[in-house]
Amino acid sequence: FENQPLDFLKHLNPEQYRAVTAGEGPILVLAGPGSGKTRVLTQRIAYLVKAMGVRPHHILAVTFTNKAAREMQHRLETLLGEQSQSIWLGTFHAVCARILRREAAYLPFDQNFVIMDADDQIALVRQALKALNLDEKLYRPAGIHATISMAKNNLITPEEFTPRTYRDEVVKRVYQQYQTFLRNNNAVDFDDLLIETVRLFRENPPVLERYAGRFEHVLVDEFQDTNLVQYELLKLLTSVHQNVFVVGDEDQSIYRWRGADYRNVLRFESEFPDVQKILLQQNYRSTQTVLDAAQGVINRNHQRTPKRLFSDRGRGEPIVLYEAVDEFAEATFVVDTIRQWIESGKARGSDFAVMYRTNAQSRLLEEAFLRAGIPYHLVGAQRFYGRREVKDVIAFLRLAQNPDDEISLLRVINVPPRGIGEKSLVALQLLARETHQSPGHLLLELGEKGHDSPYWARFPGRSAMLLADFGGLLANWQRARDTLSLIELFDRILADVGYEAYINDGSEEGQDRWENVQELRRLAFEYRERGLSAFLEDLALVSDQDTLPQDQNAPTLLTLHAAKGLEFPQVFIIGLDEGLLPHSRSRDDPEEMAEERRLFYVGLTRAKDRVYLVRALRRSAYGVAVEQEPSRFLADIDERLLQRQGYRRTRSSATTWAAERSPSSRVPPSPAHAAILQPRYRPGQRVRHPAWGEGMVVDSRIQEDGEETVDVFFESVGFKRVIASIARLEAI
C-alpha cells in the first residue's frame, strides 16, 4: 500500500493519531466537544481502506442523523474517491431498513414494507384506541405512543409488557392492536426497524453470521446516545470480528427521552474487556471564551468525569447576553444582528445558527426573517414534510409501492373528492376485517372483477363502483411502478387523480401548495437511479432533527437537540428563561434538569467564534404578558466572559455591570460620547413598531451609555419603553 497517500495523517495530534491508526479490536474514544471525534472516525475509515487493506464494503459506519451521514459521505469521497461508495454508511435506522429489505424472506412482512412516519404512528394509535373503544381524550395518543416506543426500545414485546397500573393495562392492549395494524398494513414504525433486525439476527443465526462476518469493522459516532436496542445490534453485528470503534462524550447525552442510555458506555467497557480507551484533549473548534462558558455550565452536573476543555484559538470575543423586552424584540434582535453582519461583508448567512429548546419558538423567528427578506434554513420536518399536499402525494406513491398501506389509503381514498364517503369507508373496513385482507387488496379485486366480485353487492348504491374505480387506479399504478421511471410514475399519478387542478385554485396559497409538490418532484428526480422504494425510505427517515439541504448560504434555525455534532462560526441561543431552558417539565426531576444542562452545553459548544445568548423580560401567554425569570444556567457563566446588552442594561444597572466587567470588554460608546449625541425621536412624533404597530413618542433621552431610550404610547399595547437602536422604530 506504499503508493497510497496517507497525507491526511499529518494533521492529527498524537492522541488522534493513535486512535486513527490503532490496530484491531474494540476501541473507545471518549472526549469533549470539538476535539475531533467525528473527524477521527472518518479518517479511521480512510486508514482502514488505504493502510490496512480493508475492502470498503466490509465497513459499516453509523451516524446519528442523515445529515451527519451525508457530511461524512462527502468527506470520505474526498479521502477515498470512488471507493467510498461501497461503505455501508447511515443511521441505525437506515442501515436496518436496508438489511430488512434484503432479508424480507425471513420476516413477517414483505420487502415492499412501508415505514410509518411519526404522524402515521400517532394515527395508528388513534385507530387502535378506536378499535378498542377507548376514549382518546382519556388516553392521549402521543403519550400512549411514547410508552409503547419506550417498551419497544427496551425490547419488550406486547406479550412481555407487564402492566403495573391501570393505564399500563390500556397501553398493553393498544400496543397489541397497534402491532397487528402495522403487520396488516405491511408496515413498520421507526422502532420496528431496529427491533425486527435484532429479532432477525437472534432467530436466524446463519443470517447473523452473514452480516457479522461481512462487517469486519463497525464504527459508531455519538455513541453516548445509543439506546438498548442499538447497543444490542452493535453487539450482534460485531460478534464475529469484534472490531468496533466507538466515539462519544458523556456530557453530550441528550436523548434520554428516546431511551438513550449513557450506561452503554460503561457496559461497553465491561463487555469488551480488552478495549483500548483513548482520550482526546484539545478542542479545535471554539475560542477559549466559549469553552470556559460551556465548562461553567456543565461543571454543575454531578456524576461525571471532570474534564478541562482547552483550545489554542485564543480568548476570542466575549459572549453577548442580550435581554429583550419581549419575544418579538428577541426575534428582531437576532435577525437585525445577522443582517448587520451580512451587510458588513464580514460574515455569510451560513455562518449563523439560531437554536432554541422547542420547535414552537421558530415561528416568530421565521416571521422576523421573512420580514427582513433574509432567506433561512429551517431544520425540522414540519415546514415541508408536514404540508398536506406533500403528505398526499407521498401517500399516493406509497400505495403504488404497497396497496396494503391502510394509513395512506385512508388519507387519499377521497382526495380529490370522488364521492367515497364515511359509510363506504366503514363498509370497506368491516369487509376487510371479515375477509382477513387489507382494504387496498379488496379495492384491487373490486377494480379487477367489477360486478363479478362476490363483494360488489356488499356496498350500497354507487359506492361499489366508486371504490372499484379507485381500485383500478391502484392496479394501474402498481403496473406502472415496474415499467415507468419514478418521475413518470409521479406525473402519471398526479394526472390520473387530477391533483394539480385540485390543489392549485390559482390563489397564492394554491400556487404555494403546487410549488411544494414540484419541490417533491425535484427531489424524486434525484432518485431516478435508486427508484421508488429508496425514495420512500429516505422520506420516511427524514426525522425531525433532519432535513434535506435547501439554501446553501442561509442561517440555520434548529432545536438544540438537532444541533448535535454540528458547528457554526456564530451561534444564537434564544429563550434563556426559566421554563423554556431549562424546560418547565424538568423542574422537579434532577435527572431531567441535568439533561437540560447538557442540552445547553451542546448548544454552546457548537460555536466556533461567537455566542449570543438571548432572553426576553416578558413573554405573552394567551394574550397576557408574563414576566420571565432568567435561566438558572446563565448564573453559571462567569460574568467576565459576558457582555450584557439590551433592555435591562439601560434600565438601571448598566453602570454596575460595566464596572464589574473587565475594562477590555467594556462596551462603547463611552459616556463622553453620549454627551454629544442628540435623540432621534421627539415627543409628539408618530412611530411604527414591527410588532406593536403605530404609536406616539412621549419622551426620549440618551442614557449615559449612549443608547437612546424612547417612551412610546402604542394604540395596541399601551405604554412601552424601548431602546431606539434595537426596537426598529420607524418614524411615520
Query: What are the Cα distances from residue 675, in Å, to 342, 655, 659, 724?
Result: 31, 16, 20, 17
User: Of the two residues 13 and 485, which places its CB atom closer to ligand ATP in the complex?
Assistant: 13
How many whole angstroms separate alpha carbon 695 and alpha carbon 688? 6
Size of the site for Mg ion (CB under 5 A): 3
Name the residue nearer to Mg ion (CB basis): 403 or 565. 565
**Cell numbers representing residue 324 in the block:** 429583550
Q: Is 37 a catalytic residue?
A: yes
User: Which residues belong to the annotated binding site for ATP?
Assistant: 31-38
Give the whole-angstrom CA distance, residue 519 versus residue 502: 17
CB of residue 96 vs ligand ATP: minimum separation in angstroms? 23
- For the packed helices 531-541 and 92-102, what is the interaxial angle rounded to 10 degrees? 150
In degrees rounded to 5, what are phi and psi of residue 616? -125, 140
Q: What is the dihedral of CA 218, 219, 223, 227, to 10 degrees?
A: -30
Give the start-end residues of each E strand in 249-386. 276-280, 282-283, 310-311, 319-324, 352-356, 377-378
Minimal CA–CA distance to 609: which of 391, 306, 351, 393? 351
* 692, HSE (Cβ side, Cα atoms, 13 Å): 27
Active-site annotation holds for 222 = yes
- Sole residue written with cell 458506555: 265
Residues lying near ligand ATP in the complex (CB under 6 A): 11-13, 16, 31, 33-39, 249, 252, 284-285, 565, 567, 605
User: Which residue in 351, 402, 466, 337 sits closest to 113, CA to CA?
Assistant: 402
Compute the least distance from the CB of residue 608 to ligand ATP, in Å. Answer: 8
Distance CA 621, CA 495 (A): 46
Q: How far is the CB of 546 from ligand ATP (least distance, A)?
A: 16
Residue 274: Cβ within 10 Å count: 7
> Of 90 and 575, which has the nearer Cβ to Mg ion?
90
Backbone φ and ψ for 250, nearest 5 degrees, come out as: -60, -30
**Closest approach of Cβ 29 to ligand ATP, in Å?**
9
Residue 12 interface partner, choices Mg ion, ligand ATP, none, CB cut-off 5-8 Å depending on type: ligand ATP
- 249 contact, one of Mg ion, ligand ATP, none, CB 5-8 Å limit per kind: ligand ATP
Closest residue by Cα to residue 405 from 397, 417, 415: 397
- What minimum distance in Å lies between the beta carbon of 280 and ligand ATP? 7
Binding partner of 36, given ligand ATP, Mg ion, none, CB within 5-8 angstroms per partner class? ligand ATP
Minimum CB distance to ligand ATP, residue 636 (Å): 20
CB-based contacts of 482: which residues, under 8 Å, 6+ apart? none
Catalytic-role residue among 191, 196, 216, 221: 221
Site mask, Mg ion, residues 488-507, x = CB under 5 A?
--------------------
Distance, CA of 284 to chain centre: 25
Q: Please state the closest distance from residue 221 (CB atom) to Mg ion, in A.
A: 6
Say if CB 678 and CB 670 are below 8 A apart.
no
Strands 708-714 and 718-723: antiparallel
Nearer to ligand ATP, 38 or 631 (CB): 38
At closest approach, how far in Å is the CB of 284 from ligand ATP? 3
Rg (CA), the chain: 29
| 321 beta partners | 613, 644
- The CB-of-67 to Mg ion minimum distance in angstroms stands at 12
Select 225 or 261, whichever has its Cβ closest to ligand ATP. 225
Of the residues 252, 287, 643, 645, only one is catalytic, namely 252
User: Is 226 tagged catalytic?
Assistant: no
Asked if omega into 669 is within 30° of 0 (cis), the reply is yes
Name the one residue in this structure whose C-alpha cell is 421627539. 682
Give the three-class secondary structure for 609: strand
Q: Which residue is nearest to ligand ATP (CB)?
A: 36
Distances (CA, A) of 9 to 51, 381, 497: 11, 38, 57
Closest contact distance (angstroms) between CB of 561 and Mg ion is: 15
Q: Which of 38, 91, 121, 605 is catalytic?
A: 38
Please give the grid coordinates belonging to residue 309. Answer: 476543555
- Residue 16 Cβ vs ligand ATP, minimum distance, rounded to whole Å: 6
Tell me which of Mg ion, ligand ATP, none is bound by residue 44, counting a contact when its beta carbon lies within the kind-specific cut-off of 5 to 8 angstroms. none
CA distances (Å), origin 618, targets 1, 176, 358, 504, 635: 64, 46, 18, 41, 19
H or E element that contains 320:
strand 319-324
Residues 38-67 that bind Mg ion (CB under 5 A): 38
With respect to Mg ion, which residue has the nearer C-beta, 285 or 615? 285
Residue 39 interface partner, choices ligand ATP, Mg ion, none, CB cut-off 5-8 Å depending on type: ligand ATP
Stretch binding Mg ion (CB under 5 A), from 33-41, 80-88, 112-120, 510-518: 33-41
313, 606, 615, 644: which is the annotated catalytic residue? 606
In degrees, to the nearest 5, what angle opens at C-alpha 114 toward C-alphas 111 and 119? 165
Give which of Mg ion, ligand ATP, none residue 476 binds (C-beta under 5 to 8 Å, depending on kind).
none
- Closer residue to ligand ATP (CB): 286 or 332: 286
CA distances from 279 to 19, 246, 305, 312, 475 (A): 9, 12, 12, 18, 58
Cβ closest to ligand ATP, residue 10 vs residue 436? 10
Catalytic residue among 37, 39, 75, 597: 37
Residue of the chain from 318, 349, 565, 646 that contacts Mg ion (CB under 5 A)? 565
CA separation for the pair 629, 616 (Å, rounded): 9
Match 483550545 to its residue by C-alpha cell. Answer: 311
Element at 711 (helix H, strand E): strand 708-714
Active site residue 252: yes
Cβ atoms of residues 72 and 38 within 8 Å: yes
CA 417 vs CA 390, 420, 466, 506, 557: distances in Å = 17, 7, 11, 18, 37
CA 588 remoteness from chain centre: 26
Find the part of the chain contacting Mg ion (CB under 5 A) among 30-38, 285-293, 406-414, 465-473: 30-38
How many Cβ atoms from other residues are within 10 Å of residue 206's Cβ?
A: 7
Which CB atom, from 251 or from 445, has the smaller least distance to ligand ATP?
251
Catalytic, out of 15, 103, 196, 222: 222
> Cα(first)–Cα(last) distance of the chain, in Å?
73
Q: Which is nearer to Mg ion, 248 or 575 (CB)?
A: 248
Which residue positions form the known binding site? 31-38
Q: Distance between CA atoms of 690 and 603, rounded to whole angstroms?
A: 29
16 or 700: CB nearest ligand ATP: 16
Quick one: what does residue 13 bind among ligand ATP, Mg ion, none, with the CB cut-off 5 to 8 Å set by partner type?
A: ligand ATP
Instruction: Quote the CA–CA distance of 698 and 219 in Å, as a whole number.
Output: 65
**Active-site residues: which are they?**
37-38, 221-222, 252, 606
| Residues near Mg ion (CB under 5 A) | 37-38, 565
